[in-house]
Amino acid sequence: MAIDYDGIQIGDELGPLDKLITTEDVRTFTKIQREDGGGPAFFTDSESAIREGLPGRIVPGPISMAFMAQLAVSWSDGGWIKKLDVIFRQPVPHGIPVRVSGVVTDKYHIKGAGHVECDIYVESMEGDKLVGGQVIVVIPT
Amino acid sequence: MSATDNMVEFDRTLLGVKRAMDRFPMVIKAEEIMRYSTVLGETYPCYFDEETAKLAGFRGVLAPPAFSTALTIGMGKPDVGLKGVGSSFLATEAVHRFGSICAGDILDANFYLKNVYRKTGRSGSMVFVVWAIEFINQIGDLIETTEKSYVYKGASE
């Protein structure tokens, strides 16, 4: 059963959700639905990453996006993600714990469906915002 | 033909011209949705169990909301003709969803160059190249649109 739309307040917090992605996780992720082995080498190969001017292997953006969507779906208990809009501010390294959290910024109805807007961030445990974005969740009312 | 737009020289003929994305049409596999969900630590039963997903009204095992973003990692893109640039990195990505992706779906994907612009910030001049992608399922429904902007540092002015 989804969260009660009427009970949602602007300023309500989502999460946090703590995550850690290993190099092996990235290797698996970049092979989803593909036989050819995945995306750019800098996701899984340190030397390639350094050649590209990165500090090391980085977590692909779609993994951070997936975590942000996961937080919104779990918080809303099955709400439907209508929009996910993300800015990649800093590289997310492998093997480092990150925290995904958010806050409700608006709520309204469109054609009878409850819509909730949230700001969501992926942060380092030191509080650096690595990825930020906005999600719109449709809540059954 | 190339042109300068917002002080960026690029191949303007690419603007708005839709082309098929490599590796599509693509059959979405239940085991791949489960692999994706497992790596991310998902627990929602509809991502793992066909019967549960169908009881919830889906066509098959349900793909989590950002699943499509994994399908375009390292997408092949035509050269837009920027001069003096090196590698690009994903700067922003926006997904607008109109329907759900389920196992057994056959997704098609088209993409086109939407915009090229320059922005000068604290770390210098950067050029952003924005690609728009449309995902269409086997019954012709537009399921998602995505915009990916890639940033290039050091593009010649």
DSSP string, A87-106: EE-S--BTT--EEEEEEEEE
Q: Pull the structure tokens for residue A60.
A: 């692909």
Q: What angle do CA A30, A36, A40 make, to 5 degrees?
A: 50
According to CATH, what is the number of the domain A9-21+59-139? Answer: 3.10.129.10
Return d(Cα B13, Cα A4) in angstroms, integer. Answer: 50
Interface test with A, best of B33, B69, B147 (most A CBs within 10 A): B69
Return d(Cα B27, Cα B59) in angstroms, integer. Answer: 14
- Whether residue B94 and residue A86 make contact (CB cut-off 8 A), yes or no, is yes
Return d(Cα A81, Cα B98) in angstroms, integer. Answer: 9
Supply the pLDDT for residue B5: 47
Supply the pLDDT for residue B90: 92
Q: What is the ipTM of this complex?
A: 0.94
Q: How many interface pairs between A and B have CB atoms less than 8 angstroms apart?
A: 100
Supply the pLDDT for residue A37: 65
> In chain B, which residue's Cα lies nearest the Cα of A33?
B32
Least confident residue range of A19-28, B43-52, B82-91, B101-110:
B82-91
pLDDT in tens, B16-42: 999 999 889 999 999 999 999 999 999
Q: Pull the structure tokens for residue B69.
A: 């973003």
Closest by CA to A28, choosing from A42, A36, A38, is: A38
Candidate from A19, A30, A62 with C-beta closest to B41: A19
Element (H, E) at A41: none
Element (H, E) at B118: strand B106-121
- Where are chain A's structural domains? 9-21+59-139
Supply the pLDDT for residue B14: 96
Return d(Cα B96, Cα A13) in angstroms, integer. Answer: 23
b/e code B117-152 from CB counts within 10 Å (16+ = b): eeeeeeeebbbbbbbbbbbbbeeeeebbebbbbbbb
Chain A nearest CA to B57, separation (Å)? 13
Torsion, Cα A41 A43 A49 A55, to 10 degrees, reads 180
Task: Please classify residue B41 by burial: count the beta carbons closer than 10 Å to its beta carbon, then call 0-12 exposed, 13-18 middle and 19+ buried.
Answer: middle
b/e code A24-55 from CB counts within 10 Å (16+ = b): ebbeebbbbbbeeebbbbbbbeeeebeeeebe
Q: Pull the structure tokens for residue B25.
A: 């049409």
- Whether residue B26 and residue A38 make contact (CB cut-off 8 A), yes or no, is no
Would the pTM of this model clear 0.90, i.e. be above it?
yes
Return d(Cα A15, Cα A54) in angstroms, integer. Answer: 29
User: What tens-digit pLDDT sequence spans chain A (141 residues)?
Assistant: 678 999 999 999 999 999 999 999 999 999 998 876 667 888 989 999 998 888 899 999 999 999 999 999 999 998 999 999 999 999 999 999 999 999 999 999 999 999 999 999 999 999 999 999 999 999 987
- Whether residue A29 and residue B70 make contact (CB cut-off 8 A), yes or no, is yes
Least confident residue range of A113-117, A124-128, B4-8, B11-15:
B4-8
Interface test with A, best of B34, B43, B95 (most A CBs within 10 A): B95
Supply the pLDDT for residue B1: 45
